[in-house]
Amino acid sequence: MKIWDILKLGLVLMIYAVAACTGLAFVYAGTAKTIEARNAAGLEAALKELFPEADGFEDITGAIKSPGGEVSFETEWAVRRDGKLAGVAIRSSVGSYGGPVKILAGVGVDGKISRIKVMEHTDTPGLGANAADPGYYVNEEKKITFAGQFDEKPVSDPFEPKNDVIAITAATITSRAVAVAVKTSGVAAQQWLTEQGVEK
């Protein structure tokens, strides 16, 4: 193959690559706002799941610090009801079996977890992924899901799988990761609430 043929082939490939990148950029530009709006709506719905009676969520990101290096806080919200501080919601990230798992945890002014929601995970389907499955019950008789067992759980509890947290079958790493994220969020939220003058 002659040098000109190689240059010609390279030029053609470059043109195709530029055209593909330009096309993708236009598609992204056209859909980015829609995706952002859907994500915002999904997050708002998730926050309302944690605090159904809340009438406002104030972004206070950076105001609450994670007390440990294992769990990182991504976003925090002060939850309002009738103009008063009703709790805190924290979106956190912690390493799990398949990678980071992102948890949204609500903590009320009563020192209890209001509710949690597993937002993102990459754990094994049928095992660790059951942490986010609304059809997987850790207590079949009472229809309690893995996430549901944290509802109204006092922040002062140990949050230890196989102790006061029912672990997902064959997914102890995922169970522990979620429990650690929720406990860490609970402790940090309660401390912040105390600093705001809110008492249980």
Strands 71-81 and 99-108: unpaired
Asked whether the CA dihedral 66, 68, 74, 79 is positive or negative, the reply is negative
Q: Do 197 and 84 touch, CB atoms closer than 8 A?
A: no
- Specify the pairing of strand 153-154 against strand 112-120: antiparallel
DSSP string across 35-100: HHHHHHHHHHHHHHHH-TT--EEEE-TTSS--SSSSEEEEEEEEEEETTEEEEEEEEEEEEETTEE
Tens-digit pLDDT string for the chain (200 aa): 577 777 777 777 888 877 777 777 776 666 656 656 566 667 889 999 999 999 999 999 999 999 878 999 999 999 999 989 999 999 999 999 999 999 999 999 999 999 999 999 998 888 899 999 999 999 999 999 999 999 999 999 999 999 999 999 999 999 999 999 999 999 999 999 999 988 66
The pLDDT assigned to 3 comes to: 78
Instruction: Specify the pLDDT at position 40.
Output: 62
The residue type found at 35 is I
Contact of 180 with 186, CB cutoff 8 Å = no
Of all helices (H) and strands (E), which one includes residue 23? helix 3-50
What pLDDT score does 38 carry? 64
Helices then strands, each counted (H, E), the chain: 2, 8
Query: What gap in Å lies between CA 180 and CA 136, rounded to an integer?
Result: 20
pLDDT of residue 9: 77
Distance CA 184, CA 178 (A): 10
How far is 174 from 94, CA to CA, in rounded Å? 10
pLDDT at 8: 76
* Cβ-contact 90, 75 below 8 angstroms: yes
Q: Return d(Cα 72, Cα 67) in angstroms, integer.
A: 9
Residue 49 confidence (pLDDT): 95
Q: Phi then psi for 106, rounded to 5 degrees? A: -105, 135
Distance of CA 55 to the CA centre of its chain: 21
Report field, pTM of the whole predicted structure over 0.85:
no
